[in-house]
A and B are shown apart, each in its own frame.
Chain A
Amino acid sequence: MPVDMRTYLGHVELANPITTAAGCAASGAELAQFFDLGRLGAVTTRSITMAPRAGRPTPRMAETPSGLLSAVGLQGPGVDAFLARELPWLAQRNVRTVVSIGGGTVAEYTALARRLTDAPGVTAVEVNLSCPNIEDRGRVFALDGAASAEVVASVRSVMRYDVPVVAKLSPDALDVVAVARACVDGGADALSMINNPLGMSVDTDAMRPALAAVTGGLSGPAIRPLAVRCVWQVHAALPGVPIIGMGGVLTGRDAFEFVLAGACVVAVGTALFHDPYAGLRVVRELEEILAARGFHRLADAVGLAHRPPGATTRHRTDFEESPL
């Protein structure tokens, strides 16, 4: 029997729980060369900024054990070109699109949200809070619950009521649960985690930092336990809030791990660099795992690892098997 893979981001239904991670699928057209993007639950765009951005100098990447250190610096075409070309391209193909936005001030995030409000084809808005706050000496918004909440509240207030606003959290925050709670209090309909923790690598031949930007974001399986921990803690504290879990998902098993920890949507990022089909493959593998474990619905597995020790798994008590 096929597993019901549908999931909800706020009140928005997705056909399956797998999306691309922000900044890991460029404009979408690149991956569409390999498969129909509509087969993913959603596509998340790179973080869109007001003005075009050239990003960071190269080298922008270094490979680390089971990880990737990168500092792209939100290179992108800016919101005008995004709305003129990239979003319509996705909308024409009926791709569920989560638009990620990045800014340096609350006003910039708000202005971006305003530009997206009337744009057709926006399934949800993901607020990338891992951007330096220009008004706070470049401190990253996501480290500070109050600053994050202010951005989220402002974006929520201008965004159409039927478009969920997702706050994307950083594992570098001292207390990720506190930031999560602040974002939800600020009006976030869902949470997304984790963005890249800050890392660094030194090129021992050149005897200099491997990246031109010196530090970069770490991604890939190297950060998966960190990500699962964040999802677990936030789901435990805020069980009613939908979570997009991500960090080092390469396989259906990895996605299942996030689901069990409390994610109802799972994003695939760095894995796409290794395998352009990773997103589709993860959908298939996750469905196989759920079926093999006797689940009829993905929803029954969300947060299941939180059940008390000794408790039966919820999905086993359904009517087909019960004496009723």
Chain B
Amino acid sequence: MSKTPVTPVQVTGTVLTTRRVDAYHALTVVAPGIVERFRPGHFVGVAVGGPGTSMLTRRAFSVHDVKPDYGGTVEFVFTAGGPGTTWLAERRARDTLDLVGPLGRPFPLPRDPVTCVLVGGEYGSAMLFAVADALQRRGCRVDFVLGAASADRVFGALRARRMGETTTLTTEDGSLGMRGRVTDVLPGVIADVRADAVYACGPMETLRGVTAVAVEFDIPVQVAVEERMACGIGVCMTCVLPVIGDDGVTRMVRACVEGPVFRGERVRFDDVGTIPFDALGAPGGGTRHAG
């Protein structure tokens, strides 16, 4: 599997702006060095808690947007849940923030001007706009399907409407768009727009469903997965999931360097959180090919 094509850098950035977007927080950080290297699908590893922090692991956030202003800014969108994201939600303009990035394998882009459906679940949609921009610059047609539990958790509906040829929204409580999940409406959208490819980011359950739909239509699907990460740079080996390689062998690969973007059909979604018996190096046998 290919290595990270760009070299990440560590930057002590300065928070430029903070904003609330419905259920989400968004931070824009002046982070020169990261912006020039950024490609859609990359994420950043953020140190939390300030100097002398008791929180040793970095938090991973997909890059929502980069801009050339002030030498380069990076924006990411997040929900405040645990102690790290709660600390981040308390950051104010001019605070400093330690970022490492850009990290991970970005989305591969099609060579031809094809039609792509971009599917986002919850804050997963935040990373899709950079993808959409890159696709449109290649002459691709872009259609959005965004969904979440409720209206305040659907991120970027307005922007999707502006950028996409069509935008379909879903909420589980019916407070916005169609009641249901993105996977309920995806087959209809793929058929209507005659999609050639699908790009998706969101919870694992969503990615599993999206992949199943794309496989049904026999079109390529690229998914950006989320696994618990401690370092984001490939050294801790905690973020692994079972992925089938080009040689047909399943390996426990690191979401942070071999991913987070994978071809959907290569990810063994049903086996995430386990070591499949036929994975390379699985206990009690497995495929014993070297490497």
Q: Is the CB of B235 within 8 A of A58?
A: no
In the complex, chain B residues 190-205 whose Cβ is within 8 Å of any chain A Cβ: none
Residue A103 CB within 8 A of the other chain: no
Within 8 Å CB of A78, what residues of B? 281, 290
Within 8 Å CB of B8, what residues of A? 33-34
Q: Is the CB of B240 within 8 A of A60?
A: yes
Q: Is the CB of A85 within 8 A of B54?
A: no
Residue B291 CB within 8 A of the other chain: yes
Q: Is the CB of B279 within 8 A of A54?
A: yes
Choose from A70, A84, A212, A275 the contact partner of B230 (Cβ within 8 Å): A70
Question: Whose C-beta in chain B lies nearest to the C-beta of A53?
Answer: B281
Q: What 0/1 readout, one digit per residue, does chain B (229-244) give for beta carbons within 8 Å of chain A?
A: 0110111111111000
Chain A: minimal CB distance from B280 (Å): 5
In the complex, chain A residues 17-61 whose Cβ is within 8 Å of any chain B Cβ: 23-26, 29-31, 33-34, 46, 51-61
Q: Is the CB of B252 within 8 A of A274?
A: no
Residue B116 CB within 8 A of the other chain: no
Within 8 Å CB of B100, what residues of A? 276
Q: Which of B9, B240, B283 has the most CB of A within 10 A?
A: B240
Choose from B10, B56, B238, B241 the contact partner of A276 (Cβ within 8 Å): B10
Q: Is the CB of B56 within 8 A of A273?
A: yes
Within 8 Å CB of B272, what residues of A? 58
Within 8 Å CB of A70, what residues of B? 230, 236, 238
Q: Which of B54, B57, B236 has the most CB of A within 10 A?
A: B236
In the complex, chain A residues 256-275 whose Cβ is within 8 Å of any chain B Cβ: 270-275
Within 8 Å CB of A29, what residues of B? 3
Residue A133 CB within 8 A of the other chain: no
In the complex, chain A residues 56-70 whose Cβ is within 8 Å of any chain B Cβ: 56-61, 63, 65-68, 70
Known: A68-B56, A273-B56. A55 touches B240 (CB 8 A): yes
Chain A: minimal CB distance from B156 (Å): 28
Within 8 Å CB of A46, what residues of B? 237
Question: Whose C-beta in chain B lies nearest to the C-beta of A66?
Answer: B54
Question: Whose C-beta in chain B lies nearest to the C-beta of A250?
Answer: B56
Residue A102 CB within 8 A of the other chain: no
Q: Is the CB of A52 within 8 A of B290?
A: yes
User: For the complex, what is the distance from the CA of A25 to the CA of B54, rounded to whole Å?
Assistant: 21
Within 8 Å CB of A67, what residues of B? 56
Q: What 0/1 readout, one digit per residue, does chain A (284-317) give for beta carbons within 8 Å of chain B?
A: 0000000000000000000000000000000000
Choose from B47, B57, B240 the contact partner of A63 (Cβ within 8 Å): B57
Residue B274 CB within 8 A of the other chain: yes
Known: A33-B7, A84-B291. A54 touches B233 (CB 8 A): no
Chain B: minimal CB distance from A41 (Å): 18
Residue A220 CB within 8 A of the other chain: yes
Within 8 Å CB of A270, what residues of B? 56
Chain B: minimal CB distance from A249 (Å): 12
In the complex, chain B residues 268-286 whose Cβ is within 8 Å of any chain A Cβ: 272-275, 279-283, 286
Q: Could you list 11 further interchain pairs (A-B, Cβ under 8 angstroms) beyond the known A59-B273, A60-B240, A75-B240?
A: A29-B3, A52-B289, A54-B283, A55-B252, A59-B238, A61-B57, A65-B54, A72-B237, A76-B281, A77-B290, A85-B291
User: Chain B interface (Cβ within 8 Å of chain A)?
Assistant: 3-4, 7-10, 47, 54-58, 100, 227-228, 230-231, 233-241, 251-252, 257, 272-275, 279-283, 286, 288-291
What 3 pairs between A and B have smallest CB-CB spacing?
A52-B281, A273-B231, A54-B281
User: Chain A interface (Cβ within 8 Å of chain B)?
Assistant: 23-26, 29-31, 33-34, 46, 51-61, 63, 65-68, 70, 72, 75-78, 80-81, 84-85, 212, 220-221, 270-277
